[in-house]
């Protein structure tokens, strides 16, 4: 199974639409898009077409969250289905996001 990432850019906002599976076999692909982030105000990660995420995938999202503090941009996670939402809530990802984003000026 694969992951497809589509990137859109407009007025300081980057939208990353992720489709397929974000897991140990595909997380590196997502990370290449993250490493290219420079001088943006906002990052929107669109989960609408994401079917599955494992712990390595969650780790990749965590790294984006930490990066937002370092590079001072806002993050919005959008279109998360119930199953993936429950997983992210259980591990505490939304709490980490809230705390880190609170430090983004």
Neighbouring residues of 104: CB distance < 8 A, sequence distance ≥ 6: 68, 69, 72, 73, 74
Query: Among 5-13, 39-47, 72-80, 86-94, which window interacts with other proteins (CB under 8 A)?
Result: 86-94
Distance CA 61, CA 34 (A): 10
47 closest CA partner among 19, 24, 28: 19
Residue with tokens 């397929």: 20
| 3-state SS assignment for residue 64 | helix
The reply to whether 90 sits near other proteins by the rule CB under 8 A is yes
What binding mask, one character per residue, do residues 9-38 give for other proteins by CB under 8 A, x or -? ---------------x--------------
Stretch that binds other proteins, among 9-17, 41-49, 71-79, 88-96 (CB under 8 A): 88-96
The site for other proteins (CB under 8 A) is made up of: 24, 54-56, 58-59, 62-63, 66, 87, 90-92, 95-96, 99
């Amino acid at each position: 199974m694969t992951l497809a990432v589509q990137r859109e850019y407009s007025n300081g906002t980057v939208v990353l639409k992720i489709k397929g599976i974000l897991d140990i076999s595909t997380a590196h692909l997502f990370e290449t898009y993250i490493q290219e982030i420079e001088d943006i105000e906002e990052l929107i990660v669109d989960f609408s077409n994401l079917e599955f995420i494992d712990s390595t995938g969650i780790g990749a999202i965590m790294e984006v969250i930490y990066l937002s503090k370092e590079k001072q941009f806002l993050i919005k996670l959008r279109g998360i289905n119930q199953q993936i939402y429950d997983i992210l809530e259980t591990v505490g990802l939304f709490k980490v996001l809230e705390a880190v984003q609170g430090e983004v000026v």
